[in-house]
Amino acid sequence: MSNELSDKVAIVTGGASGIGRASVETFLAEGARVVIADINRELGESVAAELGPDALFKHTDVADSEQLADLVAFTVESFGGLHVMFNNAGIPTAMRGNFLDDDFADFDRIMAVDLLGVIRGTQHAARHMAANGGGSIINTTSIGGVQGGTGEFAYRAAKAGVIHFTKCAAIDLGRYNVRVNTIAPGAIPTPILGTATAHLPDSDSAVRQLRAVMKSIRPLDREGSPTDIAHAAVYLASERSAYVTGTVLPVDGGITAGLAGNA
């Protein structure tokens, strides 16, 4: 590691698990101090305790704007500033497959967490950053927000919204030296894949099937890991990306490079 983030203070939402946890660990290894914001208190507290004094936990539901404001205030109070906001927390739509039969029971929650949570997280972080010389905001979308597909209509719509919002926020916040970018992960083996399929009679086989489909359309011959996403986040968080804003960075082994026709 090369101390790409020394002197930086970061928030990682959804930092207790999967991509978020890998990002917390990688940010710490690069010299940052990090607040883990997660709705899962037990896991978040244990991860923070394991990672040492440069990692703190703040229980947060990103669907709640007041809790996001408290999160930013807690971070500034604890570590003296905020330079990087990684709006990464997300929940999947239960995969159903048939649009005509979908009751969209989870639509409001998906939008509140996956889209409005990102918008509010950006707003609260940017208020601090704009008044303090700037910063970097990174939002997690998905290849499902870049490409169409079946079975996850609300999730894909929310993630597509994250992409468009990111571009709009980058335009609005550029004058304050606040950069806003988004990462689009491909299918990464984390607990979220099991959450998306938990309602199916055989969740494990549905996850296996999804991973096999991804393998068949992926140019790179290996599955991605949470750390692959974390490395992209380090780049967007660091001064190496000082002239980069309003972009969508797929980290997907090449899936969105144009092979959709083969899927």
Q: Is 72 in the site for ligand NAD (CB under 6 A)?
A: no
* Residues with catalytic roles: 155
Q: How far is the CB of 38 from ligand NAD (least distance, A)?
A: 5
Which residues inside 160-189 make contact with ligand NAD, applying CB under 6 A?
185, 187-188
168 touches 119 (CB < 8 A): no
Contacts of 47 (CB under 8 A, 6+ apart): 15, 16, 21, 24, 36, 55, 57
Q: How far is the CB of 22 from ligand NAD (least distance, A)?
A: 8
Which residues inside 94-123 make contact with ligand NAD, applying CB under 6 A?
113
56 touches 28 (CB < 8 A): no
Choose between 129 and 251: whose C-beta lies nearer to ligand NAD.
251
Q: How far is the CB of 45 from ligand NAD (least distance, A)?
A: 12
Count the residues of the shown chain that bind ligand NAD, applying the rule CB under 6 A.
Answer: 28
Contacts 24+ apart (CB under 8 A), 169-173: 169/119, 169/122, 169/126, 169/137, 170/245, 170/246, 171/246, 173/126, 173/129, 173/130, 173/137
Q: How far is the CB of 20 from ligand NAD (least distance, A)?
A: 5
Contacts of 37 (CB under 8 A, 6+ apart): 11, 12, 13, 14, 15, 44, 57, 58, 59, 60, 62, 71, 89
Residue whose C-alpha is closest to residue 154's, from 166, 144, 139, 165:
144
Which residues inside 15-34 make contact with ligand NAD, applying CB under 6 A?
16-20
Which part of the chain contacts ligand NAD (CB under 6 A), choosing from 61-69, 123-131, 165-173, 236-244?
61-69
What is the distance between the alpha carbons of residues 82 and 73, in angstroms, rounded to a whole number? Answer: 9
Q: Is 71 in the site for ligand NAD (CB under 6 A)?
A: no
Q: How far is the CB of 235 from ligand NAD (least distance, A)?
A: 17
Q: Is 147 in the site for ligand NAD (CB under 6 A)?
A: no
Structure tokens at 28: 């710490």
Amino acid in position 173 = L
Q: Is 68 in the site for ligand NAD (CB under 6 A)?
A: no
Identify how many contiguous H helices and E strands the chain contains and give both numbers. 10, 7
Choose between 5 and 251: whose C-beta lies nearer to ligand NAD.
251
Q: Is 223 in the site for ligand NAD (CB under 6 A)?
A: no
Binding site for ligand NAD (CB under 6 A): 13-14, 16-20, 38-40, 60-63, 88-91, 113, 140, 142, 185, 187-188, 190-192, 195
